[in-house]
Structure 1
Amino acid sequence: GKRITYINVMRNMSVDCDCAGLSAAKPTIANIGILASTDILAIDQACVDLVYSHTKDNHDLVERMESRHGLRQLSAMAEHKMGNTQYELIEID
């Protein structure tokens, strides 16, 4: 519905899902920030773009996303008209 807000926390990211618990690989990307949007596709696209922009420490996470076809989620959402890949990133300190 129109009253849904999506919040993604991009903090201490590792190649493993947080469901792996204590056995998860150590984080390689520190705190990028917290994103919020009313568009699920826009927020996920922004998160992927931010991961790609952290070129010095993103290699393992990018490899994991690409080798597991993680970007397919974005194209599938676009095909199903679940949102927009275009977004405006507004930083708040």
Structure 2
Amino acid sequence: MIIVNAKFYIKEDKKFQFLNEIQELISFSKKEAGCIEYSLYESINVQNEFVMIENWESMETIEKHNSNPLLVKFAQNIGDYSLKKPVLHIVEMKED
């Protein structure tokens, strides 16, 4: 399983726009082959800080997801609502 954590730092005046656009991406992504989990969480400690937690069956399913038109659009627009560049962490969990 591949675990992806993407942290977003959103401008206060762009929070609604960010949440509106990302909701469609989340809904669609959860239906993609190989998607185990795809959820967005907001920090209770830092205002307008979010983390997307994704679990995928394999790197191949992530590569296919990366061509999702909604993800491509989101990636192109993220600069419009971000205070700084998102931070991405990818970990592969090996099963014994």
Q: TM-score, normalised by structure 1?
A: 0.36
Higher relative contact order structure (alpha carbons within 8 Å, sequence separation ≥ 6): 2
Q: TM-score, normalised by structure 2?
A: 0.35
Structure in which a larger fraction of residues adopt strand? 2
